[in-house]
């Protein structure tokens, strides 16, 4: 399992980073990103601390642990600015909290994220064909989520992304240890979205390529 969307108690998760990564390691994960929720109020506080602990854990556990952020409820007009700030501060993975059907984020969040140089659009809900084309053009991965609520539109996102040949990624949006999933659970989630084992392997390859592109930066 590779998971590039998780949270710690620095925002609304339950675990400190070291415990989250250890729980993922014993679950069989080969790579993980810690992407706590940020806006302009805490972005400069979160990222330096995540860089420090992720560097230590990568060395100690010989697995890829990447520091990142999830821009959450950020007004669409500010997403590009905060994406650039996150990159400047050293975030390896930048996610935007997409327009999930179970939460009312500002309209236009999906498109603003796709235009801002992010890596992943999380739980994009009823994303438009135009925005899926934009994701493909800008090499932004669209998330298939294992998280309750956000997973309700997995089938819709998967079908549209497959038709338009946009990249997909499977993430858990983990907030608690029980949110971490096994490879078998990952396959079940993918099949429930109307996809197959081969699609899961492609999603894992997408994640591996994203991680590879961030190393050394």
Distance (Å, whole) CA 120 – CA 132: 12
Share of the chain above pLDDT 70, in %: 99
Angstrom distance (rounded) from CA 186 to CA 201: 10
pLDDT (0 to 100) of residue 215:
82
Domain count, the chain: 1
Residues 134, 62: Cα–Cα separation, whole Å: 35
User: Which residues have CB under 8 Å from 18's CB, separation 6+?
Assistant: 53, 57
Write out pLDDT tens, residues 38-80.
999 999 999 999 999 999 999 999 899 999 999 999 999 999 9
Q: Looking at 96-100, 158-162, 192-196, 213-217, which range is the least confident one?
A: 213-217
d(CA 155, CA 166): 14
In this prediction, residues 130-153 reach a mean pLDDT of 98
Mean pLDDT over 156-162 rounds to 98
10-40 tens-digit pLDDT: 999 999 999 999 999 999 999 999 999 999 9
pLDDT, position 217: 66
32 Rama sector, left if φ>0, alpha if ψ -120 to 50, beta otherwise: beta
pLDDT in tens, 111-131: 999 999 999 999 999 999 999
- 150-157 average pLDDT score: 98
Please check whether residue 107 is in contact with residue 75, taking contact to mean a CB–CB distance below 8 angstroms. no
Biggest CA pair distance of the chain: 43
Segments forming the whole domain that contains residue 189 = 2-214
CATH number, domain with residue 181 = 3.20.20.140
Task: Give the integer Cα–Cα distance in Å for 115 and 85.
Answer: 15
CB 6 within 8 Å of CB 49:
no
């Amino acid at each position: 399992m590779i998971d590039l969307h998780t949270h710690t108690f620095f925002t609304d998760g339950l675990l400190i980073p070291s415990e989250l990564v250890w729980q993922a390691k014993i679950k069989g994960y080969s790579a993980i990103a810690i992407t706590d929720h940020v806006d302009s109020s805490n972005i400069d506080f979160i990222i330096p601390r995540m860089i420090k602990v992720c560097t230590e854990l990568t060395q100690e556990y010989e697995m890829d642990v990447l520091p990142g952020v999830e821009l959450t409820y950020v007004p669409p007009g500010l997403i590009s600015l905060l994406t650039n700030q996150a990159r400047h501060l050293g975030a390896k993975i930048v996610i935007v909290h997409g327009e999930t059907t179970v939460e009312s984020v500002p309209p236009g969040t999906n498109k603003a994220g796709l235009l801002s140089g992010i890596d992943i659009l999380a739980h994009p809900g009823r994303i438009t064909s135009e925005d899926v084309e934009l994701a493909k053009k800008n090499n932004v991965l669209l998330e298939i989520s294992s998280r309750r609520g956000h997973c309700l539109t997995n089938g819709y996102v998967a079908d549209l992304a497959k038709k338009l040949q946009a990249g997909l990624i499977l993430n858990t949006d983990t907030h608690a240890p029980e949110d971490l999933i096994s490879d078998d659970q990952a396959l079940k989630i993918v099949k429930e979205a109307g996809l197959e084992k081969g699609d899961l392997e492609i999603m894992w390859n997408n994640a591996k390529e994203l991680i590879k592109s961030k190393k050394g930066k």
